[in-house]
Amino acid sequence: MSTATTTATHDHSHHDHHAPSGVMRWLTTTNHKDIGTMYLTFALVMFLVGGTMILGVRAELFKPGLQLMKPEFFNQLIGVHALVMIFAALMPAATGFANWMLPLQLGAPDMALPRLNNWGFWLLPPAAILLTAPFTLALFGIGDGAVATGWTLYAPLSVQGGIGVDFAIFSVHLLGISSVLGSINIIVTIFNMRAPGMTLFKMPLFAWGWLITAFLLIATIPVLAGAVTMLLTDRHFGTHFFDAAGGGDPILFQHLFWFFGHPEVYILLLPVWGFIPHILSAFSRKPVYGYKAQVYSFWAIGILSVVVWAHHFFTVGMPVPALLYFMYSTMSISLPLAVLFFCWIATMWKGSMSFETPMLFATGWIILFGIGGLTGLVLADVAADAQYHHSYFVVAHFHYTLFAGGIMGIMAGVYFWLPKMTGYMYSEKLGKLHFWMTAIAFNMTFIPQFFLGLAGMPRRIPDYALQFAEFNMISSIAAFILGLSQLILVYNIVSCVRGKGEKAKDNPWEGAQGLEWTLPSPPPYHSFTEQPVVK
């Protein structure tokens, strides 16, 4: 996306006398659009990196027996895939949109703290290096590769692990600092930078989604930082947080991890829930249904998300009252979620719909995320969870929430805002092709995994019994189709950035509402230096 905004850099305002060009522009920028572009580019690159890793895994799982790699390497791939996808693809993509769009949607001149904003971004590449460098170091005989404990880093496996765990710990620290900085910036921007007349309840839902995301990040990321710090001291400084001999408890790590880990799911999803209603509204040519109900549901889900964490480890054995509490509280998340689903569908209902690519993604997203949500509801049941837990059923479930609910939502956003950000239209034909390829291949990859899980295939195994062979083969083939389809996305983005295709109008979508559509496409380098007044 490097040239996307260079065409729009003429409007240098009062204090921007000598903006550096070339690489230095990106290293030193304080502009929210530049930083947003960097976040989005980083997310796309890491999405491809993480995807390539998992294709290695799927290739190994194509048939029984060990074909391509040793189990040690397999374990590294699955863990780093998850960390990369969550922390380096999904979260930066959402943050990138926040950087690009929040100032435009709120009528702000920029993000509130531009230099911190830039630091927030530039912490990500070092974090990604820390995470993946051990792969390379192992080739030179330093250490035994990347973190091989899965992304959950459960002690004591992670206490036993090699140098990769240390790198992962510090990677998590840097990612954590980055997230906290990003959250601070977003909270301040939302509270302090809105245009006159833009009350909180006039904000786009995207801002609401991000506000609650930011609160969740502030409350939970430091807890993860604390947990991995304890892990570090257990590994190298002789503490006994996570072993029974010293009076510690391995389950303590799981509590701390999932106190962060469960809200993390909503951290990934809330920004998407924020902009999907606006996409639905734009292509239904009809206002968002139940705006306030959606805001209250966001809050309800945000609050519930920090009190349900232990449903991720029912099988460790807990007292019955604890099991029941975590089961029922988890089930109650479905209530506000039902309100959201209702509002999304009601937004479409009796609209005048057309199905351009963003709308296709948004509609597909509702259906597929629905599957993720409903399987989540059955997972809450403690007794049946003994079967689902750590089986492929769970793998399929969270890919329905995080790939369909997260990544496909982000793709809807990409197609929705790409004309605004670059000033050019993508190819509608290729966009639609991308959607159908993604949706079909995604289902072909993960529906078999539900059945694999029910039949008893544990997750995170490099080799499996013969009865799982057929479904794994289908899943692997589909995964490669899914992976290759993403090249269409890359092509679409690159051609928009390079200015191929039609020029985009200020508002390329007939029904899109919001301040960002009042600006030219692409918007000037500094927008809203004079704040608009919202009535």
Partner 1 sequence: MVGKRLRIAVMSLAMGLWSVMAWANYSWNFPTPATPIATDTLHVHNKFMIIAMIIFFVVLGIMIFSIFNHRKDKGFKAATFTGPSTAKQVIWTLAPFALLLYIDFILMGIPAYHSVVMMEDTKNGADMVLKVTGMQWRWQYEYMDGYAKGIKFVSNLATPQDQIDNKAPKGEHYLLEVDEPVILPVNKKVRVILTSNDVIHTWWVPQFGVARDAIPGFLRETWVKIEQPGTYRGQCKELCGKGHGFMPVVVNAVSEDEFKKWADAKRAELATASAGADKTWSKEDLISHGKEVYEKNCAVCHQLDGKGVPPAFPPLAGSKVINGPIFDKDGKLIANSHLDRVLNGKNVMPAWKALLNDVDIASVVTYERNSFGNTMGDMLQPAQVKALR
Partner 2 sequence: MATETQHYYVPNPSPYPFILSSGLLLLTSGFVFKMNNFAPGVWMMFLGFLCVLYVLFGWFGKVIGESESGQYREWEDKSFRIAMIVFISSEVAFFAAFFGALFFVRNIGIPELAHFDPSLTPYKGFTAIWPSAGPGGMVLGKLYEVAKFEPMKPLGLPAINTMILLTSGLTVTWAHWGLVKDNRRQLILGLFMTVVLGISFLLCQAYEYHHAYTEMGLTLGTGAYGATFFMLTGFHGFHVLLGTIMLTVILLRSINGHFKPNHHFAFEGVAWYWHFVDVVWLLLFVLVYWL
445-484: contacts with partner 1 (CB under 8 A): 451, 454-456, 458, 460-467, 469-471, 473-474
| Of the candidate residues 99, 105, 183, 213, the single one contacting partner 2 (CB under 8 A) | 183
Span of 104-112, 261-269, 347-355, 488-496 interacting with partner 1 by CB under 8 A? 347-355
Per CB under 8 A, does 398 bind partner 1?
A: no
Closest CB to partner 2 among residues 168, 327: 168
Q: Which of 327, 408, 493, 497 binds partner 1 (CB under 8 A)?
A: 327
CB of 493 closer than 8 Å to CB of 1: yes
Please state the length of the chain.
535
> For residues 155-174, which are near partner 2 according to CB under 8 A?
156, 159-160, 163, 166-167, 170, 173-174
Please report how the helices 357-379 and 409-422 are oriented relative to each other, as an axis angle in degrees rounded to 10: 150
Interatomic CA distance for residues 217 and 210, integer angstroms: 10
Measure the CA–CA gap between 11 and 15, rounded to whole angstroms: 11
Q: Which residues pair with 164 in a beta bridge?
A: 146
Q: Residues touching partner 2: how many (CB under 8 A)?
A: 92
Q: Which amino acid is at 212?
A: I
12 binds partner 2 (CB under 8 A): no
- How far apart, in whole angstroms, are the C-alpha atoms of residue 38 and residue 27? 10
Cα–Cα distance measured from residue 129 to residue 350, given in angstroms and rounded to the nearest whole number: 49
Q: Which residues contact 153 (CB under 8 A, 6 or more apart)?
A: 147, 165, 168, 169, 228, 231, 253, 257
The residue type at 450: F
* 270, 180 contact by CB (below 8 A): no
What is the closest distance, in whole angstroms, from the C-beta atom of residue 199 to partner 2 in the complex? Answer: 10
What 3 state SS string does 27-76 have? HHCCCHHHHHHHHHHHHHHHHHHHHHHHHHHHHHCCCCCCCCCCHHHHHH
153: left (phi over 0), alpha (psi -120 to 50) or beta: left
Q: Which is nearer to partner 2, 203 or 379 (CB)?
A: 203
Which one of 42-50, 128-136, 445-453, 499-507 is the stretch in contact with partner 2 (CB under 8 A)?
128-136
Find, among 172, 189, 175, the residue nearest to 43 by Cα: 175
150 binds partner 1 (CB under 8 A): yes
Q: Which positions from 388 through 427 interact with partner 2, judged by CB under 8 A?
A: none
Out of partner 2, partner 1, none, what residue 10 binds, judged by CB under 5 to 8 A for its kind, is: none
Binding to partner 1 in span 179-238, by CB under 8 A:
none
* Residue 494 contacts residue 486 (beta carbons within 8 Å): no
137 is an interface residue for partner 1 by CB under 8 A: no
x/- letters, 184..213, toward partner 2 (CB under 8 A): xx-xx--xxxx-x-----------------
- Residue 508: alpha-carbon gap to chain centroid: 26
Q: CB under 5 to 8 A by kind: which of partner 1, partner 2, none does 474 bind?
A: partner 1
Rule CB under 8 A: is residue 339 a binding residue for partner 1? yes
The SS3 call for residue 253 is helix
- Residue 530 in the binding site for partner 2 (CB under 8 A): yes
Stretch that binds partner 1, among 16-24, 326-334, 406-414, 433-441 (CB under 8 A): 326-334
Per CB under 8 A, which region of 231-239, 281-289, 447-455, 483-491 contacts partner 2?
231-239
9 binds, among partner 1, partner 2, none (CB under 5 to 8 A by kind): none
| 165 versus 407: smaller Cβ distance to partner 2 | 165
Q: Would you state the torsion angle of the CA atoms of residues 201, 207, 211, 212, taken in this order, to the nearest 10 degrees?
A: 80
Contacts to partner 1 from residues 278-297, by CB under 8 A: 284-293
Q: Is 312 in the site for partner 2 (CB under 8 A)?
A: no
